[in-house]
Structure 1
Amino acid sequence: MGHKMGSLKINPKKFGGFSKPCMKEMVTFLNCLAINHTDEKCARHKDLLTTCMSAQDTNSKNSWGSMNYHLQRLNRGKK
C-alpha cells in the first residue's frame, strides 16, 4: 500500500494522501449541476465550495516542508 523509492517506502495514507476536505461541498455542487444544467441555480453551492477551497489554501502551510524536499535530503545523504 505504499510506494517504494529505492529502499525507502512511503505510505501515502500517513501523509494525508486521502484527505478530502471539501468533498461534501464539491459533490453537492456537481449534483446540483447534473440536475439543473445551469450555473445560476447552483450559485449557493458554488459559493460554499469556493469558500471551503479558499479556507484550505490558507491552512495548507506545512511546517515540515514538502515530502519531495525531505526525500531529496535523504537521497543526498546516501551519496
Structure 2
Amino acid sequence: MGRKVGQLRINPKKFGSLNKPCMKEMASFLNCLSLNNNNDDKCARFKEQLDACMASQTNARKKLGNINYHLARLSRGRK
C-alpha cells in the first residue's frame, strides 16, 4: 500500500499518475542550452515552444478550477 520512511508514509500510487505535459519541450530546450554553452539566443525557437506550452497549461487549469468552484458552491446549497 505505502512505504514508511521514519515517521513519513509515502503512497507511490498517488505520485505515479502525475501528468508531465511540457516535458518534451523542456528537454529539447535544456538540450539546446547544453549544446550552446547556455547561450539562450541560439535556442529562441525551443524557448518559444516551451513558453507556449506552459501558457496553454496555465489557461487550462484556470478553467477547471472555476468549474470545481461552482460545483462545490452548488453542492453546499443543497445541504
TM-score range, shorter chain: 0.5 to 0.7
| Cα offset, 1:41, TM superposition | 0.4
Aligned length: 58
Instruction: Specify every segment of 5 or more residues in structure 1 that has no aligned partner in the other structure, as ranges.
Output: 4-8, 66-79
> How do residues 1-79 of structure 1 correspond to structure 2 at under 5 angstroms?
11-13=13-15, 16=17, 18-37=18-37, 38-60=39-61, 61-62=64-65, 63-64=67-68
What is the rounded CA distance, in whole Å, between the counterparts of 1:48 and 1:35 in structure 2? 18
Structure 2 length-normalised TM: 0.60
Structure 1 or 2: larger helix share?
A: 2
Report the identity percentage. 44
Instruction: Specify every segment of 5 or more residues in structure 2 that has no aligned partner in the other structure, as ranges.
Output: 4-10, 70-79
Structure 1 length-normalised TM: 0.60
| Cα offset, 1:64, TM superposition | 3.7
